[in-house]
């Protein structure tokens, strides 16, 4: 399995924790441009206030985009929906990469030292390492972007990324010489795995599949995990959805379909539209696989769809703690400068599931502590193993 750097992964998990990826949950690919109904006539007070600030303020106005971004955030604050948010261009690009499951890049991990320098660590056999980038090189420039301590890591990551096959100019400094090095590095496709897996060390007939988020590549990754574990003689499976804040609606539905024989997975409804239904079209390839699912309070959105569908169809026992309880769908609208607006536009539910996910989250069949204790023992995994072995 290709590995994603821990620093990079951690930065996105932090983003999850502040709700960004929860909002990205169910970004079903809806994009829109130039659909504004905004003019000075519609918002005369805003226009008047702007002109007063421009003409009479002691300080100069911030750059145009910064002023606009502030206005958008103020508008969303008044809208008062926690999942309708504005995302600036660099962060939007990085989040889109994660949900796609890959990106065009040069294959380096970035970190910052105490002086604010950006340090490069190339992945093994990556475009960066093949070009000659070495561990510990200081990044000085990407194309025409000068790297300064004030520049955000998101902006630097976004500058390094781009279309697969295109070259990016990278300038670095190295401790062994005072002369900067310049490289032209052709971007390649860099995978961002959303699934990891292993055999349980105490019960090697049990395969544990951890899904970190629901991306476009996750369905295939789950299938690859099962096939690999089967070659290693796994017979029983744990689907670990703890701390999975969701992702793409269709990918979540398709993961549930892998394990279901028939039936409705979810129904959902947009404003002023009829109810739409996602069903199991034909039996999935793993309908007979012994399976349990682990969840916790950070299992949300598309991950709740997977767990809820398997629960309501009595396909798998749910172990852990009550889930997050997010039952809304966001549409992602691209704005002109590469930023995006994420708007809550629909609600979903799982027919027959009581109480509904939106009323306090999914309730587990078997409650269990979902974080390891001081000795490192994982009670949820232990209970999952016991539940599976009882089915032998």
Query: In this structure, which long-range contacts are made by residues 160-168, counting pairs with CB atoms below 8 Å and at least 24 apart in sequence?
Result: 160/105, 160/106, 160/108, 161/93, 161/94, 161/97, 161/103, 161/104, 161/105, 161/187, 162/104, 162/105, 162/187, 163/104, 163/187, 164/104, 164/188, 164/189, 165/104, 166/104, 168/106, 168/142, 168/143
Distance separating the N- and C-terminal Cα atoms of the chain: 30
Q: Read off the pLDDT band of 24 (50, 70, 90).
A: very low
pLDDT in tens, 98-110: 888 989 999 999 9
Q: Read off the pLDDT band of 124 (50, 70, 90).
A: confident
Provide φ and ψ at 54, rounded to 5°: -65, -40
CA 57 to chain centre: 41
Q: What integer best gives the mean pLDDT of the chain?
A: 88
* Rounded average pLDDT over 12-41: 42
Domains observed in the chain: 103-191 (2.30.42.10), 195-327+347-389 (3.90.226.10)
pLDDT in tens, 316-350: 999 999 999 999 999 999 999 999 999 999 999 99
Residue 175 burial class via C-beta count within 10 angstroms: exposed 0-12, middle 13-18, buried 19 and up: exposed
pLDDT in tens, 183-197: 999 999 998 899 999
Rounded CA separation 214/344 (Å): 18
The answer, yes or no, to whether residue 277 has pLDDT greater than 90, is: yes
Rounded CA separation 182/169 (Å): 7
Which of 30-44, 105-119, 204-218, 319-333 is least confident? 30-44
Rounded CA separation 309/353 (Å): 8
Q: Read off the pLDDT band of 40 (50, 70, 90).
A: low
pLDDT in tens, 64-88: 789 999 999 999 999 999 999 999 9
pLDDT in tens, 280-302: 999 999 999 999 999 999 999 99
Place of tokens 């990918």: 251
The four Cα atoms 203, 205, 211, 216 give a dihedral, to 10 degrees, of 170
Between residues 196 and 371, the one the model is more confident about:
196
Q: How many CB atoms lie within 10 A of CB 294?
A: 27
- Are β-strands 276-279 and 102-105 bridged in parallel, bridged antiparallel, or unpaired? unpaired
Cis bond upstream, residue 367 (ω within 30): no
Q: Read off the pLDDT band of 373 (50, 70, 90).
A: confident
List, in order, residues 6 or more apart from 112 with CB less than 8 Å away: 118, 119, 149, 153
Rounded CA separation 87/336 (Å): 12
The answer, yes or no, to whether residue 39 has pLDDT greater than 50, is: yes
Rounded CA separation 383/366 (Å): 8
* Rounded average pLDDT over 27-41: 45
């Amino acid at each position: 399995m290709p590995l994603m750097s821990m620093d990079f992964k951690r930065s996105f998990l932090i983003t999850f924790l502040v709700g960004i990826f929860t909002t990205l949950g169910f970004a079903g690919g809806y994009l829109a441009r130039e659909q504004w109904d905004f003019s000075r006539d519609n918002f005369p007070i805003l226009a008047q206030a702007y002109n007063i600030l421009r003409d009479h303020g002691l300080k100069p106005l911030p750059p145009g985009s910064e002023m606009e971004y502030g206005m958008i955030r103020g508008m969303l604050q008044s809208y008062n929906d926690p999942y309708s948010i504005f995302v600036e261009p660099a962060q939007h690009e990085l989040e889109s990469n994660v949900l796609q499951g890959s990106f065009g890049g040069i294959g380096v991990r970035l970190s910052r030292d105490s002086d604010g320098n950006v340090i490069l660590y190339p992945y093994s056999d990556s475009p960066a390492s093949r070009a000659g980038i070495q561990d510990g090189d200081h990044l000085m420039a990407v194309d025409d972007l000068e790297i300064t301590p004030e520049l955000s890591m998101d902006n630097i990551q976004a500058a390094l990324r781009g279309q697969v096959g295109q070259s990016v100019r990278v300038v670095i400094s190295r401790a062994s010489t005072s002369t900067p090095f310049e490289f032209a590095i052709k971007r390649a496709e860099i995978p961002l795995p959303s699934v990891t897996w292993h055999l349980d060390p105490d019960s090697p007939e049990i395969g544990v599949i951890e899904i970190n988020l629901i991306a476009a590549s996750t369905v295939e990754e789950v299938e690859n995990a099962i096939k690999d574990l089967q070659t290693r003689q796994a017979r029983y499976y744990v689907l670990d959805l703890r701390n999975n804040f969701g992702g793409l609606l269709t990918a979540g539905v398709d993961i549930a379909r892998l394990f279901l024989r028939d039936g409705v997975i979810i129904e959902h409804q947009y404003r002023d539209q009829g109810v739409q239904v996602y069903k199991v079209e034909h039996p999935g390839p793993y309908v007979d696989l012994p399976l349990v699912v682990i969840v916790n309070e950070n299992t949300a959105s598309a991950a709740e769809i997977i767990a809820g569908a398997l629960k309501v169809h009595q396909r798998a026992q749910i172990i852990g703690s009550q889930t997050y309880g997010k039952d809304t769908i966001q549409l992602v609208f691209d704005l002109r400068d590469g930023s995006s607006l994420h708007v809550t536009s629909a609600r979903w539910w799982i027919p027959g599931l009581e109480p509904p996910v939106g009323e306090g989250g999914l309730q587990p069949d078997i409650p269990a502590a979902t974080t390891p204790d001081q000795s490192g023992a994982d009670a949820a995994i232990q209970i999952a193993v016991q539940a599976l072995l009882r089915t032998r």
